[in-house]
Chain A
Amino acid sequence: DVKVTQSSRYLVKRTGEKVFLECVQDMDHENMFWYRQDPGLGLRLIYFSYDVKMKEKGDIPEGYSVSREKKERFSLILESASTNQTSMYLCASSEAGSSYNEQFFGPGTRLTVL
């Protein structure tokens, strides 16, 4: 059974803290994605990675960075958390290919920044 896991389901941090959100997939997928989900805005792509150590900015990368040192792990980093980064964060992965392959999603991390 395919699986994408995220390190925390709920997280509470203070403004200015450095925050790490971890995502691990066990499907040997090349592509990995970070989205944030907000009511009324749907899912918005923050960053994605198509290979180890490779990354591409999505639609809303400001205030975030990512790291992919191993194929199975993709980390989202908030260098200095702010209250407007309070949101649900979803990680996903998919196979590489010339077409669009199904993205498999983790359960999400609900981050609250106080």
Chain B
Amino acid sequence: AQSVTQPDIHITVSEGASLELRCNYSYGATPYLFWYVQSPGQGLQLLLKYFSGDTLVQGIKGFEAEFKRSQSSFNLRKPSVHWSDAAEYFCAVGARGTGFQKLVFGTGTRLLVSP
């Protein structure tokens, strides 16, 4: 079965600084990978996804993520953080060939943005 680890529970970044949120997955083949964001009081919104092909994927709100098979990682990055990026971020993995679109989510990383 697939699993996801987000090793950082909280991260604080200064506004304008760069951001990297870590995600490691466990799965025997190439998985489907996702990053979702949850703003306070809101549901989750998809930022980006990786299925195949180019290992650097671009998402909404200026985010990108890079799939590294050798490290089983799918880290989320943003070159310059804005105060509105303060939220909780979830990495998720889906298994291929199951017939159902079942995702396994990580435990989340809460991003705090300081002035």
Footprint of B on A, CB under 8 Å? Answer: 4, 31, 35, 40-45, 48, 50, 56, 58-59, 90, 92, 94, 97, 99-108
A100 touches B90 (CB 8 A): no
Annotate B33-50 by CB proximity to A: 1 below 8 A, 0 otherwise.
010100001111110010
Is residue B70 within 8 Å, beta carbon to beta carbon, of the partner chain?
no
Query: Within the complex, what minimum Cβ distance (angstroms) separates B35 from chain A?
Result: 12
Q: Is B67 an interface residue (CB 8 A)?
A: no
**Chain B residue at minimal CB-CB distance from A110:** B41
Q: Are A42's CB and B105's CB within 8 A? A: yes
Select which of A40, A44, A56, A107 is within 8 A of B43 by beta carbon: A107
Could you tell me if B51 and A105 are in contact, using CB atoms closer than 8 angstroms? no
Query: Chain B: which residue is nearest A94 at the CB level?
Result: B101
What is the interface residue range for chain B against chain A?
20 to 34
Q: Looking at the assembled complex, report how far the CB atom of B59 sits from the nearest CB atom of chain A, in whole angstroms.
A: 12
- On chain B, the residues within 8 Å of A107 by CB distance are 41-43
A37–B90 Cα distance when bound, in Å, is 11
Supply 12 further A-B pairs (C-beta < 8 A) apart from A43-B105, A99-B51, A102-B49: A40-B9, A42-B6, A45-B102, A45-B103, A58-B102, A94-B101, A103-B101, A104-B43, A105-B43, A105-B45, A106-B43, A107-B41
* Residues in chain B within 8 A of chain A (CB atoms): 6, 9, 32, 34, 36, 41-46, 49, 51, 90, 94, 100-108
Known: A99-B51, A105-B45. A50 touches B90 (CB 8 A): no
Nearest-Cβ distance from residue A8 to partner chain B, whole angstroms: 14
Q: Say yes or no: B100 contacts A90, CB within 8 Å.
A: no
Bound-state Cα–Cα, A104 to B46, Å: 8
The answer to whether A41 touches B107, judged by C-beta atoms less than 8 angstroms apart, is: yes
Q: B102–A42 contact, CB under 8 A? A: no
Closest chain A CB from B72 CB (angstroms): 18
Q: How far is the CA of A59 from the CA of B9 in the complex (A)?
A: 22
Q: A107 to B38, alpha carbons, bound, how many Å?
A: 10
A56 touches B100 (CB 8 A): yes
What chain A residues lie within 8 Å of B34 (beta carbons)?
Answer: 100
Let me know if B43 and A108 touch, CB within 8 A. yes
B-side contacts of A104, CB under 8 Å = 43
